[in-house]
Amino acid sequence: MPTTFTFNSQTYNGIISPIPQGRSYHEAGYNPDTDFQLMAVASQFATRPVPQDTITVSGTDYRVITVTPDEYDVALLIDLGGIDEA
C-alpha cells in the first residue's frame, strides 16, 4: 500500500508490505520483531536509514531493524518494528 513516511525531519514516499508475525527473513533467519516492511527508492535519501534509527509512519514511530538494498541499489527494503521492542 503506498504511503508517506518521515525520517530525519524529511518526508518520503514508499510502499508498505505487511508481514505475518514472525516472518521477516534476513541473513540470520526470521526476525519476530518486524511489524512490517517499507520499500522506498534509495535515491530519495540524502542519508540512508540504518538499524536503530526511527521512522514515522502514519503518526507512529518505528525502529529500523534492517535496511537491505536491492541488487541494483535502486530500492531499499526497510524492516520496521515497535520502538519498545529494541
Task: With CA atoms as reference, report the closest residue to 19 among 79, 71, 67, 82.
Answer: 79
Domain containing residue 57: 2-85
Q: How long is the chain?
A: 86
Instruction: Give pLDDT tens digits for 44-79.
Output: 999 999 999 999 999 999 999 999 999 999 999 999
Alpha carbon 21 to its chain's center: 15
* 14-18, 23-27, 33-37, 39-43, range with greatest mean pLDDT: 39-43
d(CA 62, CA 85): 10
The count of domains in the chain is 1
Angstrom distance (rounded) from CA 45 to CA 76? 10
- Half-sphere CA count of 32, side-chain side, radius 13 A: 0
Q: What is the pTM of this model?
A: 0.83
Q: Radius of gyration (Cα) for the chain, nearest Å? A: 12
